[in-house]
Each structure stands twice: as C-alpha cells, then as structure tokens.
Chains A and B, each alone.
Chain A
Amino acid sequence: MRRYLLGAGWIRALWMTPFFGAIGFGIVVLCRWGGGWHPLLTEEPLILVSALVAAPVGLLGGIGAFDYWTNYVLGKPTPEHEDHSGHGAKSWKDYFRVNTDHKVIGVQYLVTTIVFFLIGGMLAMLVRAELARPGTQYFGGQTYNSLFSVHASLMIFLFIIPAFAGLANFVVPLMLGAADMAFPRLNALSFWLLPIAGVMMVSSFIVGAFGGGWTGYAPLNSTHQPIGAIFFNQGVQWAGASSIMTALNFLVTIITMRAPGMTFWRMPLLVWANFTTSLLVVIATPFIAGSQFFSMFDHVMHTAFFTPVGGGYPLGYQHIFWFYSHPAVYIMMLPGFGIMSEVISVFSRKPVFGYRLMALSLMAIVVLGFSVWAHHMFTSGMSGWLQDPMMITTLLIAVPTGIKIFSWLATMWEGKLHFNTPMLFALGFLSMFVIGGLSGVMLGAVPIDIHVTDTYFVVAHLHYVLFGGSVFTIFAGIYYWFPKMTGRMYDERLGKLHFWLTFVGFNLTFFPMHIIGTEGMRRRIADYAPHFASMNLFISLASFGLGCSVLVFLYNMITSWRFGERAPGNPWRAMTLEWLVTSPPPTFNFDEIPQVVGSPYEYGVVGAQHAILAPSKAPELEEVRT
C-alpha cells in the first residue's frame, strides 16, 4: 500500500496534484490576508497559482519527473542511475510513465502531438461549418473567436513544433551514433510538460476560452478576455519551457556526442536542421515567455505593461511576440527541411546536391530570421521607417530558401526515383511550399501587404507554409521512420491513398482562399458578405474531405503498428546510422560505437560507407528481426 501511494506513478500523481493545488491555493489566500486585500478569494489569482502552476508541478512530481534530482539532493540512493530501470520500453505501460529512453520519448511526443492535431483539426471543422454559409448558424461572437484561437494555438504549440521535436528525439541520437541524448532525465521532463500545456489550452473552454487569436494581442487578450486568456498565457509557458529544454538538449547532444569521425561536415542534413532549429529555439523562445508573463500580469494583477492608461505600450507586445513568433516559423520549417533532404536523397538514390551550401543556407536562415519580425506589423502603426529595412530582409530570406528548393530539384535530377509514401509527401511538400514561398514574397512586398494583411490571403499563405510545408514533412518523416520506430512496415497502398486525399483536399481547401482574400474577405470573422458565399461553401466542403483523409492515416498507423509486416533493419537502403541497427533499435542503440568514415549520402559509389560498425556485427545487420 505504502509503495503504491509513495512510489512514482499515476497513483502518487493522483494525490500529489490536488495536494500541490491546495498549497498554491493556501499561498494566495495567505498573501491576500497578509496584504489586507479583500475579498480573500478571487477567481483569477487562485486559478492561476493553484490550477495552472502548482497543480501541474504536483503532477510532474507525482509521476516521478523530479525523483532522481530530489533523491540526489537529499543524499538518498539513486539506483536508476545504475540499473537503468527508467530506460526503454518492455511493454506498452512503459510509454505511460517517465521514461528516459530517447526512442520512447520520441514515440510519446508523436502520439501526444497527433492527439492534439486531431483536436485542433476538429476545431477547424467547426470553424468551416460556421463559414459554410453567410450569416451566423452555429457559433458567433466570442465562441467563434475561441474556436479559431484554440485551433491555431494547438496546431502551432502542441502539434507542429513538438512533432518535429519528437521525430528528432527519436532520430538525432541514432544518426549521431550516440546511446541517448546528453540529458535523458531533462528530456523526459520536457516531454511531460507538453500534455500539461495542451490540456490547459483545451480546458480553457470550460472557464470561457480565449478568443484573442493565437497571437494574443494586447490589450484585447490582456484586459478584454475571459479567464481563459490566462490558460493561454500559461499554456504557452509550459510548452515554451518544454521547447527550450529540448533545444538545449539537442545542442549539447549534437556538439558533444557525435561518434568518432562524425565531423560537422559529415553530419546528415537532418542533424544540421535540428542544430539550427535548436539555436533559434534557445535564443527566441524566452521572448514569447516574457510577452506572455507581462500580458498575464496585466490580466491578473492589473498592471499596465500593454495598456496605455497607466503608461503601457500596446505595440511593445507585438514587437516582443513577433521577435519569437517569426523565428518560430523557421522553428516549424527547418526540421522539415532536414527531413526533406534525407527523404529526397534516399528515394532518388543520389547524394544531396550542394551539401555544404544546404547547411550554410540553414545558418543564413537562422541569422536573417531574427531580422524580419516586423513584417507582421507593416500596418500596425509602428514607426514608418521600419518598413523598408524589414521588407528588404524579408525578401532576402527568399534567397537561402530558394537555394534549398533548387538543390532538392537538382538532387532528383538524373536520379532513380522511387515513389514510396515518404517521397510522395516530399514532392507534395516541394510543390506546396513553392506556392507558399511565392505568396510569402508577395506579402513581404509592403504595398501588397497593406492590401491583403489580415485577409484570407494570409490564411491561405500560412496554411501553404505550415500545412503544405511543415505538416507534409511531418507525414513524410513519420512514414519514413515508421519501420525504424515500430519494427513494422506501414501499408504502402493506404499511405499513397492518404497522400492523394491530403494533397487534393489541401489544395481545394486552401487555394481558393487566396482569391477571396485579395477580393477583401477579412480573416477571423464569423460572417461575410454574400458575394463570398459560393466560394466559402466550396472551401468548407473541401475541408471536410481533407479532415476525413486523416482517418486513413490513423487506420494505417494503428493496424500497421499492430499487424504490419516485420521491418528489416534498412528497408530504404539508406546510409545514415539509424539504418545500420535493427528495427526497432536495441535499448542502447549501438552495441559498439560506430566509426564514421565518410559522407552520409554516398549513393552511386560502389562500396562507399558512411560508418562502420564492429565487423562481427556486420552480417546480422540486414537480417529481419523476429
């Protein structure tokens, strides 16, 4: 009994969560009593401290995310350091506890983010249901506003950003020839912050969801919104903390844990992509954390950081917010670029064209990415002189992005193309991202932006970049590494069906938005002028089809994971290190430390190798695991 109540796990979490919540509650009441503030019980500070800060800490403590550190500090024995009891998964139950194995964490990330992807997708269906006809049918006003606000917040903070972190978590240590990430316990903690953030954003519907958009502009979100606004503020903090910790972990892992011979110029481009992404995350994410703290202070404590009455500056919020949120667009793109380089090279059977320039263009995007934030604010009333320099840097960022697109095309040129599902998604990405990039150039041109900003043209552009771009690369990555993660092959026919449904549904849904946008239909409205009606009905119907395509994906993933054909170690005949071990890899990845001897993309050279494992192991590699 005692072991059940006090040992790390969900039973301990069940009492520690309310216990910590009560402590938070007590602290607020005590402070208010001491300060002589009345009434003692006020909704906002109580919910904030007790439910959004203290209770989640209790939950993390309960499941054991802090056990090793607290025991170490208290001088108690820490056996898990020696016996690796918290490492690796022997049964499905191990996926529901704090686990330090990067492969388990990677899968935890992906499954969690797909759950939030489904919730976010359903919210989008509700938005489209309302917009199918002019007038207000199902949701209007605040409810409608909160639907698209929570949709965007989930898709960005709980799906795209962490799904890439999940894929990289699984793949990067393997690609480097490392046994795990540099800080496995920190890695486990970063994952468990994520469901907390997601539940917080979804549960804001219970108390009155935030309807200020995912951008949460002040003073609308900081003073004119129901209490759900602080659920958004705090949700972003938890998700942001998770991002920062993971990025630090990637940086240290990539810098210090490369296998012998793995120089920076021999790293696969996926590793380069996650290295540069992590730089962006570590530098930029503290800015959104700051913006959300101050916005929350304005809401809960009635400070005036962003309200002019009292001396605040509303545009200050936007500058700080976009100083993170523009780099965040690249946080959502660069890992996908990495996946593209792997997939296109393997399925074209050719080396990545211009490898060094590909890596350097990633670095160029990191540097330029920090100098373009105010292009989200061309019509915000900011100082006029900022327009020209921000326009120039914005347009210039098309150059390194163009280099990547042309290099992928050149990689395919004269190759031997195999159109498996990951390659189909890669080609889908390439075509959609070109359209999204070109509409991005249009938006970068200030005179055009003045006309189409905050219209459906922007909605179309951002979905071409984030759905046609990021989500297609996530799908490509999931299909590509599915055999490695699960030890099973997915169903290729269903994979192709999923691709075509998604590709066609996506274009039918989002392309027409360009047209109604330039015609002047505003974004974030529940009703519109009658002459947009037929176009909107078309978009809504297409979007329901797009929504259904996800069912094919889910069915394929679930049945293949359970019943799929056993996967060989290297089904794609790829050269990078993760394919040199069994599928799924052994608990500590490599029985012998691999020796890296060449480029990861030496296709077309007979006998070329990226790395050598110990000779005695070599013959077993291609055997099917049984």
Chain B
Amino acid sequence: MRRGSIVALLGIGLIAGGVATAVALIPTWLPVDASREAGRIDFIFWFVIAICIGLFAVVAAAMTYSIIKFRAAPDDLEDGPSIHGHTGLEIAWTAIPFVLVTAIAIVCGIVLSKNNAEGANPVIINVKAQQYAWSFSYPDANNATSPVLHLPVDTSIVLHMRSLDVIHAFFVPEFRENEDIVPGMVTKIHITPDRIGQYPLECNELCGAGHTLMNTEVIVESQADFQKWIAEQKAQSTTGTSG
C-alpha cells in the first residue's frame, strides 16, 4: 500500500471516529445516576462504547475508502485482482476481536459480582406486583404497606419481589436496575441508593392491557426522614390492628 492511501484511510477513520464520538457525547444518553450500582454500570457503558467507536471507525474507514477509490466506470468490464485471502490478516481479525470481547467479559464479571454483593445488615423490603399495581411492605414497620417505595439513602437494600398473576418487572432507570417478578418465585434485587430524590418506578415486562400505566414512584430520603416515615407507618399499622 502506498503512503498516500494510508494517510487517506487514517483521515477517514479519524473523521468517522470523531463523528461517532460526537454522537456519543452530545445527546444525553443516560438518566442521572442515583445508586452506587449505577455508577459501575455507567463505567461499563462508556468502556464498551469506546471499543465500539474504535471498531466502527475501522469499518467505516475501509468501506468509505473503497467506495471512493475503487469505483469502476460503468463501461469498465475488467475484473479486480484475483486475491483469495491473506492468512495473516485473517488471523488478526479473528484474534483482535477475541481479545476485545474477552476484556469486556472480564470487566463485566467484576462489576456484576460487586453489584450483587449486599452490604452488612441490608434493609429488606417485600414487593408485591399484580395487574396493574405495586405494593411495598416493610418488615421493619410491622409489614405496613405503601403504594410508593420509600428508601433510605446510602443503605444496602434488598427487595424480595413476588407476583400475584403474570410476569412483571421492577425498573428504575436512575438506579440502572431491572429484574423480572415471576409468579411462583421470589426474585431479589440489590440497590444502594446514593442520591436523594423522587424517581419513576415502572413495570418493564409486558403484563397485559394496563401495562403502560403500571407505574409508581420511588422516594429516596435521608436516614432521618426514612426512620421518621417508618415510625409513622408502624404507628398507623398498630392503631389499625387494635382499632
């Protein structure tokens, strides 16, 4: 290959990579991150995006260069050179993607095990999903139930989730957490919220005619506010049972 074509290829590759990077950076791709798990997931997201931009640039460069450079005139009836393969190249484009995907798999494995590790004494909350409503009950407050999920900030939380009818799913984009709730099983999800606020909580597995509307909210509050809320719930549930 001549030096000129190498320069041209590199140039096109840089332009394609630049365009792809702009597409990755300019729009807002991810919602705010509101849990410790989310930060790690976002790291993986950008790590894989970076590899993808590199691969995209290589393919775009080779393709664009070929389209410009090797275009034949309509009346040109000649054939191209009879090249059947190149062992070195073929080994390279088998081995390099292999190394890249292995790297992705290893990093993902590490993040997964970190995200699944529960802290000491996690707060346990029972989640009940049914067509088309949510209910959350707190063992710490005599199993008082609430239609809205209240969580204390910076605390390891484990949700035990059950479904009364079909499959539903727990999805809070700001937590980057998503898990199905399957009838006949208890599925679990581990969250460590780290940003106070209100976020939408949605059913993310098609569950019937009202699936679109099966939404509620999660309220992440400070430890003190959460304890106060728990105490209120506890009081209400005791007066409820005695009265």
Contact = CB atoms under 8 A, between A and B. Distances in A.
Interface of A: 140-142, 144-145, 211-213, 217, 219-220, 224, 307-309, 312-315, 348-351, 353-357, 379-381, 384, 387-388, 391-392, 395-396, 398-399, 402-403, 405-407, 409-410, 412-419, 427, 430-431, 434-435, 438, 441-442, 445-448, 450-451, 453-455, 515, 518-520, 522, 524-527, 529, 573, 602-605
A604 B70 contact: no
Nearest to A388: B109
A399 B94 contact: yes
Contacts of A219: 165-167, 183
A429 B78 CA distance: 26
Nearest to A454: B204
Contacts of A413: 62, 66, 70, 83
Contacts of B59: 405, 409, 430-431, 434
Contacts of B108: 391, 445-447
B105 A522 contact: no
Given A349-B79, A403-B94, A417-B66, 9 more contacts: A211-B209, A224-B208, A308-B185, A413-B83, A441-B48, A450-B178, A451-B45, A454-B204, A519-B28
A384 B167 CA distance: 18
B79 A527 contact: no
Interface size on B, as a range, is: 35 or more
Query: Lowest 3 A-B CB distances belong to which pairs?
Result: A308-B184, A520-B173, A604-B82
B208 A349 contact: no
- Most chain A CB within a 10 A radius of its CB, from B29, B62, B67, B97: B97
Contacts of A442: 45, 48-49, 52
A315 B184 CA distance: 10
A418 B179 CA distance: 50
B83 A416 contact: no
Interface string B78-100: 11111111100110011001100
Contact of A412 (B27, B63, B165): B63
Contact of B167 (A220, A395, A447, A455): A220
Given A398-B101, A427-B63, A527-B213, A604 B93 contact: no
B56 interface: yes
Given A357-B85, A445-B48, A448-B48, A212 B206 contact: yes
Given A381-B179, A417-B70, A435 B80 contact: no
B212 A142 contact: no
A529 B171 CA distance: 15
Given A395-B101, A395-B104, A519-B28, A448 B79 contact: no
B72 interface: yes
B80 A409 contact: no
Given A395-B101, A416-B72, A519 B30 contact: yes
Contacts of B177: 450-451
Contact of A399 (B84, B101, B111, B211): B101
A454 B166 CA distance: 16
Contact of A435 (B56, B131, B171, B183): B56
B151 interface: no
B97 to A, nearest CB: 4
12 contacts: A141-B210, A349-B80, A379-B178, A415-B70, A417-B70, A430-B63, A435-B56, A447-B111, A447-B176, A448-B41, A520-B31, A604-B82
Given A350-B80, A414-B80, A441-B104, A454 B178 contact: yes
A603 B80 contact: yes
Interface in B36-55: 38, 40-41, 44-45, 48-49, 51-52, 55
Contact of A353 (B84, B184, B206, B212): B84
B230 interface: no
A325 B207 CA distance: 21
A398 B185 contact: no
Contacts of B72: 349, 416-418
A515 B45 contact: no
Contacts, number: 255
A413 to B, nearest CB: 6
A409 B41 contact: no
Interface in B164-207: 165-167, 169, 171, 173-174, 176-185, 187, 200, 202, 204-207
Contacts of B3: none
A312 B86 CA distance: 54
Given A395-B104, A442-B52, A354 B97 contact: no
A223 B54 CA distance: 47
Contacts of B179: 379, 381, 450
Contacts of A434: 55-56, 59
A605 B67 contact: no
Contacts of A212: 206
Nearest to A514: B29
A402 to B, nearest CB: 4
A603 B31 CA distance: 53
Interface in B8-47: 27-31, 38, 40-41, 44-45
B211 A525 contact: yes
A396 B165 CA distance: 37
Given A348-B80, A416-B72, A527-B213, A453 B178 contact: yes
Given A395-B104, A454-B204, A141 B209 contact: yes
B112 interface: yes
A605 B70 contact: no
Contacts of A356: 85
Contacts of B66: 409, 412-413, 415, 417
B167 A217 contact: yes
B212 A525 contact: yes
A605 B82 contact: yes
A145 B131 CA distance: 15
Nearest to B66: A412
Contacts of B115: 447
A381 B181 contact: yes
- Most chain A CB within a 10 A radius of its CB, from B80, B86, B165: B80
A314 B82 contact: no
Contacts of A526: 212
Given A417-B71, A447-B108, A602-B82, A314 B209 contact: no
A454 B171 contact: yes
Contacts of A217: 166-167, 205-206
B206 A524 contact: yes
A524 B74 contact: no
Contacts of A381: 179-182, 185, 187
Given A380-B180, A403-B90, A448 B45 contact: yes
B183 to A, nearest CB: 5
A406 B208 CA distance: 44
B123 interface: no
Nearest to B38: A451
A522 B82 contact: no
Nearest to B89: A410
B158 interface: no
Contacts of B60: 431
B189 to A, nearest CB: 9
A55 B44 CA distance: 54
Contacts of B52: 438, 441-442
Contact of B70 (A388, A416, A431, A438): A416
Contacts of B167: 217, 219-220, 314
A518 B30 contact: yes
Contacts of B101: 395-396, 398-399, 441
B208 A354 contact: no
Contact of A379 (B104, B169, B202, B209): B169
Nearest to B107: A445
